[in-house]
């Protein structure tokens, strides 16, 4: 196996995984809501020693579905339904 430089390793890590802070920014939800998703096994948590990471693809996919979920469960938040934003 070819040995990669530290920068190459970090690039790979950033390509496939996100931290809690990055996940919160991508999803645009509160920390409490995020941990609720983890506890309900809606988001996979990867833990190695003290580090906790999340699959980037899973977070991005969840983010794209988030809009539909908000429309479904919070219709009063959307202008097109006469609600307030």
Domain extent, residue 59, equals 26-78
Q: What is the mean pLDDT of residues 61-72?
A: 84
Q: How many domains does the chain have?
A: 1
Q: What is the pLDDT of residues 24-46, one digit of tens each?
A: 999 999 999 999 999 999 999 99
* Higher per-residue confidence, 59 vs 66: 59
- Whether 69 is covered by a domain: the verdict is yes
- Whether 11 is covered by a domain: the verdict is no
Buried b or exposed e, range 32-59, using 16+ CB within 10 angstroms: eebeebeeeeebeeeeeeeeebbbbeeb
- Whether 21 is covered by a domain: the verdict is no
């Amino acid at each position: 196996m070819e040995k990669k430089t530290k920068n190459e390793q970090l690039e790979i890590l950033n390509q496939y995984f996100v931290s809690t802070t990055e996940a919160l920014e991508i999803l645009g939800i509160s920390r409490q809501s995020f941990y609720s998703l983890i506890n309900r096994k809606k988001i996979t948590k990867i833990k190695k020693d003290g580090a906790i990471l999340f699959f980037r693809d899973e977070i991005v996919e969840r983010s794209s579905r988030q809009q539909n979920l908000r429309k479904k469960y919070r219709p009063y938040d959307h202008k097109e339904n006469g609600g307030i934003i």
